[in-house]
Structure 1
Amino acid sequence: MSKSFSAIGQAEQGEEIDREAFTPGIEPQATWCPGCGDFSVLKALKGAMPEVGRTPDETLLVTGIGCSGKLNSYFESYAMHSIHGRSLPIARAAKLANPGLEVIAAGGDGDGYGIGGNHFMHTARENHDMTYIVFDNEIFGLTKGQTSPTSPKGHESKTQPHGSAKDPIRPLSLALTSGASYVARTAAVNPRQATEILTEAIEHDGFAHVDFLTQCPTWNKDAKQYVPYTDVQDSEDFDFDVHDRQEAAEMMHETEDKLYEGEVLTGRFYIDEDRRSYGEEKRSTGEMPEEPLAERYFDEEADWERSYDLLDAHK
């Protein structure tokens, strides 16, 4: 993939990037509730970007609706605040048009696993080169405490006053079976690991899914904080190969069971470094030009083509 072009400029070689460059001047202070895990996502993301070596001008952050949607208000970069569940198709289009852009999408568990669940599944299946951070607090927080796709069975809420009759979704397993090439889970209570995982996810060439456990002390009293937690890479109790799909699937299943039993397992669960991204696949077949489409917006001499000019008619 060519990274020589960026419609918005690039960092100079050897330029040192400070995390404070990602703090906006207009709205620098986040207004989430005290104790909210979303603060940790913002901190980890700001810490990851200098490690990746990207500047705000090289980064696009697309968010959905919900408390998590405010992330790009507190993060200095190019941004798009999409409607509920639609951050991924917008992020995909941006990455395909300008492969040199670092694209990050973010949303809540209701936004990403519920309303936008179809986009999540197909973005993973196609292995688009981007990072998807899901703020997983097991509740709809912005709309004040309704049951979400990750709420545990029996959880009582405004929409389920007698307790949810549904088993929660398994986000790690769903990401793996859908085709994500990087799958990890971290938690707000582990800021060091969170920064490391976000750094790896952003650097990964392909679809990287990070299930980020973010406590909601205001609207989810059953999950005020995710402790104690265990890093599966550091613990001697867990031994599996993150490059083996079968072993990763078994570890994910165990992890998703244990979460609702009071034990939080975090870490990297699956990494496929050999699979080509969707953009690379499309360029290899000639269905996408080698030069970034975004470049044409800045080139008065560029020849514009319609889809019927690029593809042969069906016969």
Structure 2
Amino acid sequence: MSAFNAIGEEREIDREEFTPGIEPQPTWCPGCGDFGVLKALKQALPEVGRTPEETLLVTGIGCSGKLNSYLDSYGFHTIHGRSLPVARAAKLANPGLEVIAAGGDGDGYGIGGNHFMHTARENHDMTYVVFNNEIFGLTKGQTSPTSPKGHKSKTQPHGSAKEPIRPLSLALTSGASYVARTAAVNPNQAKEILTEAIQHDGFAHIDFLTQCPTWNKDARQYVPYTDVQDSDDYDFDVHDRVEAQEAMRTAEEALYEGEVLTGRFYVDETRPSYQGEKQRIGEMPETPLAERYFDDDYEWERAYDEFIDKHR
């Protein structure tokens, strides 16, 4: 069975199908928030009817990069900050595949920040989960793009002189059509948000707060938290960019003051995805490009042939 005739197969899916046989037990530190992301993914994918054969998980470098070792699906472990361009290419080649990209706050908001902005701007149809623990965990506790100002670390022994990245606001202003924040300590909400993000047609960004008890004890466990959808104190329209922007600003400032606000912050269900736009202007075929590798009768098109014909 190829990846193509497995897509869309109607059958019951059990979350344990996503547990690999080779390395079923994650080796993250005890108490790590990354366990929460893995659990939420295993719950969300069957919820939306996706099988391991229909799913591609692309990861970057860092503790989060081990995610696709612990999730039994198609996987691609990229270099630092490069999960998004690989994920974009895979989705364009095979739109029927459910593509999820994942990385840490250093991977996604630091070295991969440029890819983050432009993937959001183009609104590629995929889900991007950023493990935000406000620290470089794998390399033993250096200041990251989301570390608060004044945070002391091996690279900033006198305290960081820089303001942290505001990931929710950055996603919105860059063009993401679904923006949310959840936390490993809120598993029910995490599952619901991941399910919505996977079903969303467009670029869905989730800032996933994942505590690091080994290298960032200052961040504690991201509790207590407040779900902005359940609180009367935070009443705003997630479909209104202006209201969403204000709510994001409040959440991003509150996080460093000890109040954790999670939930959906922006949802645009009207904007076409990048794939939809490419098909509309005739630059993307109806048949998945990757499927042509399985078609013995397909006559291959070569870009250089068209280029040479123009100059003859």
TM-score range, shorter chain: over 0.9
Give SS of 1:265's match. strand
Q: Which residue number in structure 2 is paired with residue 192 of structure 1?
A: 188
Shift of 1:11: 5.0
* Residue pair 1:63, 1:69 contacting (<8 A) in 2 also: yes
Q: Which residue number in structure 1 is paired with residue 131 of structure 2?
A: 135
RMSD: 1.5
Query: For 1:80, which of 76, 94, 100 is the aligned residue?
Result: 76
Q: Establish whether residue 12 from structure 1 lines up as the match of residue 14 from structure 2.
A: no
Q: Which residue number in structure 2 is paired with residue 201 of structure 1?
A: 197
Query: For 1:120, which of 116, 119, 137 is the aligned residue?
Result: 116
Q: Distance in 1 between matches of 2:216 and 2:198?
A: 29
Q: Which amino acid aligns with 2:34?
A: D
Residues 222 and 112 (structure 1), Cα distance of their counterparts in 2 relative to 1, 3 Å cut: same
Q: Which residue number in structure 2 is paired with residue 32 of structure 1?
A: 28
Q: Which amino acid aligns with 2:71?
A: F
Q: Distance in 2 between matches of 1:10 and 1:84?
A: 30
Shift of 1:308: 5.3
Q: Which amino acid aligns with 1:152?
A: P
Q: Which residue number in structure 1 is paired with residue 287 of structure 2?
A: 291
Q: Distance in 1 between matches of 2:306 and 2:262?
A: 45
Q: Which residue number in structure 2 is paired with residue 62 of structure 1?
A: 58
* Residue pair 1:138, 1:220 contacting (<8 A) in 2 also: yes
Q: Establish whether residue 211 from structure 1 lines up as the match of residue 207 from structure 2.
A: yes
What per-residue deviation string (whole Å, max 9, x for no partner) do you get for residues 94-138 of structure 1? Answer: 000000000000000000000000000000000000000000000
* Residue pair 1:152, 1:260 contacting (<8 A) in 2 also: yes
Q: What are the within-5 Å matches in structure 2 for residues 1-315 of structure 1? A: 6-7=3-4, 9-10=6-7, 12-13=9-10, 15-307=11-303
Shift of 1:307: 3.2
Shift of 1:12: 3.0
Give SS of 1:39's match. helix
Q: Distance in 1 between matches of 2:177 and 2:8?
A: 27
Give SS of 1:61's match. strand
Shift of 1:224: 2.2
What per-residue deviation string (whole Å, max 9, x for no partner) do you get for residues 258-302 of structure 1? Answer: 000000000000000011111111111111111110110000111
* Residue pair 1:107, 1:135 contacting (<8 A) in 2 also: yes
Give SS of 1:12's match. coil
* Residue pair 2:7, 2:96 contacting (<8 A) in 1 also: no
Q: Provide the TM-score with structure 1 as the length reference.
A: 0.96
* Residue pair 2:7, 2:97 contacting (<8 A) in 1 also: no
Shift of 1:6: 4.9
Give SS of 2:211's match. coil
Q: Distance in 1 between matches of 2:227 and 2:306?
A: 48
Give SS of 2:37's match. helix
Give SS of 2:150's match. coil
Moved more, 153-162 or 282-291: 282-291
What per-residue deviation string (whole Å, max 9, x for no partner) do you get for residues 31-82 of structure 1? Answer: 0000000000000000001101000000000000000000000000000000
Q: Distance in 1 between matches of 2:127 and 2:209?
A: 16
Q: Which amino acid aligns with 2:133?
A: N
Residues 179 and 76 (structure 1), Cα distance of their counterparts in 2 relative to 1, 3 Å cut: same
Q: Distance in 1 between matches of 2:220 and 2:298?
A: 55
Q: Distance in 2 between matches of 1:282 and 1:260?
A: 41
Report percent identity of matched pairs: 82
Q: Provide the TM-score with structure 2 as the length reference.
A: 0.96
* Residue pair 1:181, 1:208 contacting (<8 A) in 2 also: yes
Task: Extract structure 1 runs of 4+ deviating beyond 4 A.
Answer: 308-314
Shift of 1:310: 6.9
